[in-house]
Structure 1
């Protein structure tokens, strides 16, 4: 296999497309047909390649740019390699480049105003150094003018400075590249010096054509000089001047006839206008009667333009009569401007007519008889006064209906719309329909459309707008918010208004219409926003909306509080809370009420609309009101639990009977409930209802009240943590008081029977015989404790320790007292007493606190110690506990 071709030399190493390149190397082919491929800088140059020998090839470069390898491909050697590179660039014609044709050396100047010249674009100066300036950010010429005040970087200028050129085009070029550019420039200069003759030879045709053109031009100039002389344009100048004079002479008669015709037409026009002048007084009067004031204005303006400065007596007399007619029209216009109601466009039309007549009559003899400085301002005041009177009239109408029940259908018919709601609808409709007219009239006045001779009064107009909006809000607030709930800036404005009569509407009836009223107020607020009113005016309505939202929030929560107050009537004593034994469905009913209230508040007043604020912002009145009402509701719920706990039916005994077995097992209804019957009602005992209330207290404190925060987070509202914690404290206090009540109710009869049972049948501790059984009083005490345990366990096992610990402590204290009071024990009596105390202490050990344990020790210490009797006591205790294991088994459970 033949060796791969290698390119080791190149001459020249750079040039534009079409440069003749000599390629030297090895293994370039043994004959011309061996050369099958040649690429220079990625361009195929095989067509221009000329094979000379196996070490030399001559070719011309293609349309490439940048540096690249020279790859030779032979038939047998394949694709070769290159150790040198060729740099291709595009060359532009400039002042340094010889050319056989004419090149415009001065670049086209662009006009200052940016118009584009129709001439060809100027040449692009080539870089004399032959270096690439890509990546070099050119300096601004203003920076270089400070360094070279009298120089230039343009190659075509006489003030060309190389330093400017290098800083402008090659400030980022390395020194080695600049040296290479200098070498390139020297080679170009030397090649031009040596090749001038060859240049002329190669371009001989173009040079001969240029010589022929110059010789033809010289012959034509010589011929024209012989025919016309040296000053060839003088005759042309004379001919132009003669043509101008002839044109003036030609149109002189035409212009004269035009002037005469114009004068004739002006005379005829004046004759026709005379008839208009004499008929004008009657025409103006008829136009005024038909309220066609614009026709009168136009006719008067026309006659003033035609005859305003006339000296003809007849014309003056007619004009004076017309002026008096116009004066009457001005008075009529001024009165019509202030007549209400009328549309704003009609009012603007009248104001424009009056202003026009005022201006036209300025300087006449009748102008001083009636003068209106600013009719547009009078129109604004009249419209504002009418709007205020409309508000007051509507307020008086509906407030009087509220004060007279016989005239109001809403009091007789519960489905009728209340008067205050009807008033809210009418007020918002008045504001939405009439206030925009007042605002547009004022805008037309201040933009100059209706401005008369007087100066504008922006401060007064602002006062009018604010007054109207404040009155609008004051009337609405008087009707929709009770006086005791008002606490805003509008309260001061309410002092001058008649108070809205007190309403007997129920809270449930009124809250039905509150969203309706708020929606109407929001619609009127949206209308004012579209008018682009100043923020100071919009803030008044926004503050009213915020107060309405706050009042409605308070009303909704008050309604919820009223529902909570009646929850004790809906208590069914059913265990519907799976996660907490003993809790009834009462907390879930509270959650339903609160969830419904918050959902209603979210829909009605808590969701802000356009440009409204968030009602429950931190430290805001809304958040404080929400927390206050929420805490009141939870406190009411605690009161409901207390009411249920203290409520006794006629069937409940006033006092627990003192029997041998004081506390019985659950009654039949309770057993039915435990077996699946959910209808307790008042069939269960008061003690069992009290246990349910205690369970509800624990459930509310630990689980239910903290869970209520989820109702607020559901809608991304701040959780009233302080209100919840205060309510937990309240329900915890309630739990403590109810627990003391239950413990006292259970412990007093139980403890009271210990001493009578101990000394029943004239029992004496110094007369006790031998026995290995438990004393009757101790047996009864254990049975009573088991009975209490059974009742608590059937309702809520969570209450076992809170209830049994104080009861056991009381029993232990009573036993310690009784043992201490015994004056004398015999041996059997001491053994029996120790056995009784041991059995009772061991039975209630799980529910004995440290105080109870100390009382049991005190009771044992009060009993005389019999020598060598402890083993006997323990054996007897063991036998007794084995016989009573069914009774004592429940008391051994640590965490039921």
Structure 2
């Protein structure tokens, strides 16, 4: 049971009967039907009571008097209490008092004697004390009615109280004046008494005439009683009734027509007065067709406020018709709300109108038919579905168009924008325009601006946003990341972009940076919306993948350009700190700088809310290392191709002597001077020179250029690609070793092949006695050939002397050891000659003899049989010194240690 009602406030606190009183308090009822009793000063006022809320009731006071409590009785709480009281007083109505009753302002005439009555009317009464009350304010003390509850200050009333009269009119009059007024009142009363007696004395004849007249009236009344009985008025009453009946018969038609005219007039007046209500059904239809839903809401709200509680049948019927029309308008509004496409402002306007109409119709039978509709949420779902449908339709449209035009566009202009790029631009525009609209509509819903009486669904809205962004990213992945493994993505989505020709795919790769720019623009638009991090991370992941893919594409394109650097090789040796190296590494560095600049401006520089692709142990760092490794490996292959270029078309030249009939290729090239040569064409550069330049380029890359490449990457903000550089250096070392073996084989095999024929030229035999004192021809020939090789290498790249000559000298020493071991016996002079020849070659080539060659030379000396005695050794030393003196110019180049 609810608490008892309590009245805590009144407005006003006093007044005459019929005063409109606002009663305030607590627990005054839950609804109008809960209020069953209301008494004000013990007067029942329930009939006039109007329940407003549990804290407010409006009523009119009854015919009570004095002070009293206000008692409220409810079904739920019972009889209540009051902490305040209301005072009821009666007012005298005068000519200036507003009243709904006509008050006669003039004093009644005394028609008996043709003069006014001696007593003044209460309306025009003068002060009986004869005192002036001008300037005195008539004040009634607050407790006057409490002091004299059953009296008043009106002279004409039966309950007249002199004390009330004096307090009301003479509260400021002095006691002396009041005594004078009393004397005046006594004199006036005495004069009136004397005036009546003198009046009767002077008018005695008139009074006797009046008595005679009264006697005649009595005689006439007695005669009428004898004739007509004791009730003469019955006959008069019957005559009057008959007159009324006959008059009605005469005027029936007129009265009927008058009644019809009055009712018609009343109807027309009602129609004119309530024209708004009767025209409302057609008005709301007309406004709805014009799209002025705000006016529909205002007119309907006005009608509900004016006639919502009416009990008049015609008004109820019109309102029911209006409710039906509003129901149809609500259905139309709901259809328009979910109809796409349309602007958010238009949807917002429709949702507000629909929500207002729903609230106004809530609680009615008609309104409850659509009470479960949430227009704002339906609008959000419709916009989310429209976005998803638009994305999918756009993808399928461009994919089908690209598949249909692939055969026709085999020879299309490479500058023409591919369909993939156009799709990326359009889908990014769709996401940048529709996703913000969906997000703004959702925010309006969850902030309560568009939400009606339904509970919000934040989880569902979040899934909508995430699903839309995921679909957007899936379509971009299928379009842009053509080189990635998309098998899983295709299986999960059931979508795929048609695979085109290699030419079309290659043309599209150059447009990847443009697609990245479109995606970044859309991403920046979504960042400004303050979306959840979970949603933005999805796009950020896609952008990082596209950035990495763009980096890969740019470096692949650079690698392809690197593979064509052989066409830029002019064989100009322009590296100051490494003779023999050409300008090809410089061309590679220029290409790499250009590529790094492009990568930095296109994809590697992170923009707003993008991650760093070069985090340690990240995919980006591994991708950079792999692409640099491929780039440098391609350059190494270019050097290798240049080394073997036109090898089959040229006749290899061999710097060997003419003893055996081979042409000596030693010639002076006008383009070769001071360690540099400048080729006017590839035909002016021999294959041997090209081989030496390539070996020099390999050595330069291994020693200086590849570390410089690492410093260049660090300069651009990349981590030092140690793995890629070391791998490339290992590849260069392998290629250098292979190319060195090729050159050594090319130069050493002909040289070594001439030793044995030259040794036994002219049927020479080691066991025959011979003239000694100089070198044998084969030793001279071997030295001359080595000098030729030395000169060719020194002209190109002195740094290659040691690795090349060591291999050739090792081969020569191995051949000498083999030849000497094949000689069965040496003569006395033959042993001396063989010792001088072998020692001269060993001493002359000392700077280029490795441990293996030393062992071979020692093995060749030990193969001389019988071994040299002391005399032979002395003779051999003498001859060796003489030969070295004569050959000092040839041996001078071999004496240089540090180059």
TM-score (norm 1): 0.67
Which of 870, 875, 881 lines up with 1:872 in the alignment?
875
Structure 2: runs of 5 or more not aligned: 1-136, 145-151, 153-268
Q: Residues 820 and 862 of structure 1 are in contact (CA less than 8 Å); yes or no, is this contact kept in structure 2?
A: yes
Partners in 1 of 2:273 and 2:665 — Cα distance?
Answer: 124
Change (3 A) 1:752 1:373: same
Out of 569, 572, 576, the residue aligned to residue 571 of structure 1 is 569
State the match for 2:894 in structure 1: 891
Equivalent-residue separation in structure 1 for 2:770 and 2:602 (angstroms): 83
The answer to whether structure 1 residue 548 and structure 2 residue 546 are counterparts is yes
**Within-5 A mapping of 1:30-179:** none
Give me the whole-angstrom Cα distance separating, in 2, the residues matched to 1:556 and 1:625.
12
Residue aligned with 1:450, SS = coil
CA-CA distance at 1:680 after TM superposition: 4.8
Q: Which whole-Å CA distance do the structure 2 matches of 1:608 and 1:240 have between them?
A: 91
Measured in 1, the distance between the counterparts of 2:493 and 2:519 equals 22
Greater mean deviation of Cα atoms: 784-793 or 869-878: 869-878
User: For residues 321-720 of structure 1, what are the structure 2 equivalents within 5 Å?
Assistant: 321-405=321-405, 412-482=412-482, 484-486=484-486, 491=489, 495-502=493-500, 504-505=502-503, 509-653=507-651, 656=654, 660=658, 664-665=665-666, 668=669, 671=672, 677-720=678-721
Residues 293 and 353, structure 2, Cα contact 8 Å, conserved in 1: yes
Q: How has the CA–CA distance of structure 1 residues 701 and 677 changed in structure 2, closer, same or farther, with 3 Å as cutoff?
A: closer
1:282 positional shift: 1.3
1:472-506 deviations in whole A, cap 9, x for unaligned?
Answer: 1111222222053559xx93786232434435446
Provide Cα deviations, 1:376-403, integer angstroms capped at 9, x if missing partner.
1110111111111221222122222211
After superposition, the C-alpha distances for 1:716-755 in whole angstroms (9 at most, x for unaligned) are 2212111101111111111111112221222221111111
SS in 1 for 2:460: helix
Moved more, 684-693 or 655-664: 655-664
CA distance in 2, matches of 1:424, 1:705: 39
**In structure 2, what is the equivalent of residue 57 of structure 1?**
none
553-562 or 449-458: bigger deviation: 449-458
Which structure would you say has the larger Rg? 2
Aligned pairs, number: 637
- Quickly say closer, same or farther: Cα 1:778–1:273, change in 2 above 3 A: farther
Cα displacement (A) at 1:511? 4.4
Shift of 1:648: 2.9
Measure, in 1, the Cα distance between the counterparts of 2:892 and 2:141. Answer: 144
Alpha-carbon separation, structure 2, partners of 1:750 and 1:409: 61
Where do 1:296-335 residues align within 5 Å?
296-335=296-335
Distance in 2, Cα, partners of 1:498 & 1:840: 74
Pair 1:288-2:291 in alignment: no
Counterpart CA distance in 2 for 1:636 and 1:518 is 27
CA contact (8 A) 2:675 2:794 kept: no
SS of residue in 2 equivalent to 1:633:
helix
Distance 1:397 1:666 in 2: 71
Q: Against the structure 1 CA distance between its residues 418 and 861, is the aligned structure 2 distance closer, same or farther, given a 3 Å change threshold?
A: same
> For the residues of structure 2 that align with 1:408 and 1:363, how far apart are their CA atoms?
67
Please name the residue that 2:724 is paired with.
723
Offset of 1:326 from its aligned partner?
A: 0.4
Distance 1:312 1:546 in 2: 73
Aligned 1:732-881 pairs, distance under 5 A: 732-863=733-864, 864-881=867-884
Deviations 1:309-335 (A, max 9, x none): 111111101101101110110110011
Q: 1:843 to 1:506 in 2, by over 3 A?
A: farther
Change (3 A) 1:847 1:674: closer
**Cα contact 1:765–1:822 (8 A) shared by 2:** yes
Name the CA shift for 1:508/1:404 in 2 (closer, same or farther; >3 Å). closer
> CA, structure 1 residues 280+508, in 2 after alignment: closer, same or farther (shift >3 Å)?
same
Q: Deviations over 1:62-100 (max 9, x none)?
A: xxxxxxxxxxxxxxxxxxxxxxxxxxxxxxxxxxxxxxx
Provide the secondary structure at the position in 2 that maps to 1:708.
helix
In structure 1, list runs of 5 or more residues that go unmatched.
1-238, 250-268
CA offsets per residue over residues 583-610 of structure 1, 9 Å max, x none?
A: 1122112212211111111000000001
Deviation of 1:275 after TM superposition, in Å, equals 2.1
Give 3-state SS (helix, strand or coil) of 1:582's partner. coil
Q: Are the equivalent residues in 2 in contact too, given 1:837–1:856 (CA < 8 A)?
A: yes
Shift of 1:684: 2.2
CA contact (8 A) 1:767 1:826 kept: yes
Matches within 5 A, 1:210-249: none
User: Aligned equivalents of 2:349 and 2:674: distance in 1?
Assistant: 85
Counterparts of 1:3-42 in structure 2 under 5 Å? Answer: none
- Secondary structure in 1 aligned to 2:607? coil
Q: Secondary structure at the match of 2:484?
A: helix
Given that residues 665 and 790 in structure 1 are in contact (C-alpha distance below 8 angstroms), is that contact kept between their aligned partners in structure 2? no
Distance across 2 between alignment mates of 1:700 and 1:272: 105
In structure 2, the CA distance between the partners of 1:273 and 1:575, relative to structure 1 (3 Å rule), is farther
Say whether the 8 Å CA contact 1:402–1:501 is kept in structure 2. Answer: no
- 1:234-267 deviations in Å (ceiling 9; x for gaps): xxxxx99967789xx9xxxxxxxxxxxxxxxxxx
